Amino acid sequence: MKRLNLNRFLKVLTVCLFVMMASVSVAETDYMAILLQGKKIGHAVHIRTVENDKVVTAECVSMTLGRGGQAVTITSQETHIETPDGKPLGFEMTMTTSGTEQKTIGTVANGKVTTTRQVMGQPQERTIDWPQGALLNEGLRLLQEKRGLKAGTSYTASVFRPDMMMGIPAEVQVGEMKEIDLFGRPLNLTEVVTIMTVKDQSIVATSYVDKKFKALKTLVPMIGMELEMVACEKSFAMSDVDTVDFLEKLSIASPVRLTNLHTIESVSYTLKPTTDKKLKLPVSPCQSVEPSEAGIVVTVTDFAAAKNVPFPYTGDDPNAAAALKATDYLQCDNEKVIELAKQAVKEAPDTAAAARQIEAFADGYIIQKDLSVGYASAAEVAETRQGDCSEHAVLAAAMCRAVGIPARVVCGVVYTDSFLSKQSIFGGHMWVEVYIGDTWIGLDATRSEQGGFGPGHIALARGNGEPTDFFGLVNTLGCFEIEKITLIEKKETPETETEKQNGE
């Protein structure tokens, strides 16, 4: 059975939850229940203390989500350390997914932020300029108090995210007071709308706050569902959770059964939005996007890679050059990743052959193929040999970069005949694009024996595998249906006729 995943989205979901928690303002412990589509999937705990001229704010979040019949629990703890006037001093963040822990410690001083992240027990250090005007929790709390809750008030803020190493622009709009139900308890609360924007994609959080600026309820629409965080008693917050299966809810029905996709040159999909959000999908040589009356028409084409292109890449295309660099999740400078890459491309005559060999190698190298891994970097996958499509993608992309083949990670949906109890569907998936000659070509390390990438793949976002790269999934995945599919079969050429005669 083909594996579909939502690992990337889980990290984006966690980011959204911590941004929602930033509006909580108390000097004691507060408990929140986290609900998705009305079902309780977890809890959040907020603790704020003042000691030794420092304000320490701790946010703890625990969520359990179903993924293809398996339950994945994500536990995050984030601590912000600031001065009483909101100046950032440092932070710690620990995320545990299915027993795998990722920890980041940051120090802010002299306009710089230095982080140390543990990957497979090895520290990775990074220093960047502190984003101008970016605030942590206490700074945000003080800004809220300063601006007040008068209807019509609006202001902007920059919310620093340790896992993204950036300040997220946020626009805050104060609305009218409304009666809000809190698990059967009606209260008059002020509506505050926060619009967070990352890479031209916006997430809208609507909070209902009391006179002490404490958010008692926050709603965020995402991936066609609604996420809620509601203040409650400790006993309810810590009670058992319900099971919400992301994969089943986010599968997209195909209007027709697709067969023999390897014989298809291109496929045009008419996508119809199911929300009021405008669909924004990436464009590449493999994928074009045009407007239509229903929504948009996405055409996916499976190009053959150019032959006799040498590697490593030495060209001057800026996007290709950027796709050779090591990142937090694509550690192409990792010794193990380099070793595997060199092993995979032995005797490869050109870039196309090397890329295909890496695609097949990554597919065979990951021997424990399951959905239990929350999300792992290439270096971690190189050691554990475990994961589903996201782990295949980051490993293959990092291996390509390690031998000088520009590569980037793509997140989207892919067609499958059946998954779980559904037939003919598209589900969440990740794959790779590599730069060969003067164009980007798709690779799918989970399907190397079935031809890899094909016109059954629809890209929704792409990048280096960082959480910011896939923020747009919140407004695309689960937010459209496929109304129509048009197939264009491959044309016979002298070259393909020769390949057939040779039995290729």
Would you state the pLDDT for residue 68? 64
Q: Assess whether pLDDT exceeds 60 at residue 456.
A: yes
- The residue whose two tokens read 């982080």 is 115
| Parallel/antiparallel/unpaired status of strands 154-161 and 134-135 | parallel
Would you state the pLDDT for residue 497? 40
Torsions phi, psi for 346 (to 5 deg): -55, 130
Q: Assess whether pLDDT exceeds 70 at residue 65.
A: yes
Q: Assess whether pLDDT exceeds 60 at residue 26.
A: no
Q: DSSP states of 131-147 as a string? A: PTTEE-HHHHHHHHHHH
Q: Hey, what CATH class is 251-501 in?
A: alpha beta
Domain map (residue ranges) of the chain: 7-248, 251-501
- Residue 273 C-beta-side C-alpha neighbours within 13 Å: 14
Would you state the pLDDT for residue 504? 40
Would you state the pLDDT for residue 372? 53
Q: What is the pLDDT of residues 119-146, one digit of tens each?
A: 656 677 889 999 999 999 999 999 999 9
Between 467 and 48, residue with greater pLDDT:
48
Q: Assess whether pLDDT exceeds 90 at residue 460.
A: yes
What's the whole-number mean pLDDT along residues 175-187?
Answer: 95
Q: Assess whether pLDDT exceeds 60 at residue 495.
A: no
Would you state the pLDDT for residue 494? 47
Between 1 and 184, residue with greater pLDDT:
184
CA torsion, ordered 375, 377, 379, 382, to nearest 10 deg:
50
Do 224 and 479 form a contact (C-beta atoms < 8 A)?
Answer: yes
Q: What token pair was written down for 229?
A: 């965080």
Q: Assess whether pLDDT exceeds 90 at residue 57.
A: yes
Would you state the pLDDT for residue 9? 53
What's the whole-number mean pLDDT along residues 328-332?
Answer: 91
Between 327 and 97, residue with greater pLDDT:
327
| Parallel/antiparallel/unpaired status of strands 480-489 and 296-301 | unpaired
Which residues lie closer than 8 Å to 15 by C-beta, 6 or more apart? 161, 163, 164, 467
Do 43 and 34 form a contact (C-beta atoms < 8 A)?
Answer: yes
Between 246 and 277, residue with greater pLDDT:
277
**Residue 435 carries which side chain, given as an amino acid letter?**
Y
Would you state the pLDDT for residue 496? 43
Would you state the pLDDT for residue 6? 45
Do 461 and 408 form a contact (C-beta atoms < 8 A)?
Answer: no
Stretch among 122-126, 133-137, 477-481, 491-495 having the lowest mean pLDDT: 491-495
Torsions phi, psi for 375 (to 5 deg): -175, 135
Q: Assess whether pLDDT exceeds 90 at residue 261.
A: no
- Between vectors from CA 64 to CA 249 and to CA 214, what angle results, nearest 5°? 100
What's the whole-number mean pLDDT along residues 159-166?
Answer: 87
Give the percent of the chain with pLDDT over 90: 60
- Residue 392 C-beta-side C-alpha neighbours within 13 Å: 33
CA distance 373 to 70: 10
Q: Of 113, 115, 114, 68, whose CA–CA distance to 94 is shortest?
A: 115
Q: Assess whether pLDDT exceeds 70 at residue 404.
A: yes
Stretch among 52-56, 397-401, 441-445 having the lowest mean pLDDT: 52-56
Between 423 and 130, residue with greater pLDDT:
130
Q: What is the pLDDT of residues 270-303, one digit of tens each?
A: 999 998 888 889 999 999 999 998 899 999 998 8
What's the whole-number mean pLDDT along residues 443-459?
Answer: 91
Would you state the pLDDT for residue 235? 96
Task: Specify the 3-state DSSP secondary structure of 84.
Answer: coil
CB < 8 Å & 24+ apart, contacts of 335-343: 336/379, 336/382, 336/383, 337/378, 337/379, 337/382, 337/395, 337/398, 337/399, 337/402, 338/402, 340/365, 340/382, 340/395, 340/399, 341/398, 341/399, 341/400, 341/402, 341/403, 342/402, 342/403
Stretch among 99-103, 145-149, 362-366, 408-412 having the lowest mean pLDDT: 99-103
Q: What is the pLDDT of residues 198-241, one digit of tens each?
A: 877 888 899 999 998 899 999 988 878 888 999 999 999 999 99
Mean of all residue pLDDT scores within the chain: 87
Rg of the Cα atoms in the chain: 24
What's the whole-number mean pLDDT along residues 401-422?
Answer: 91
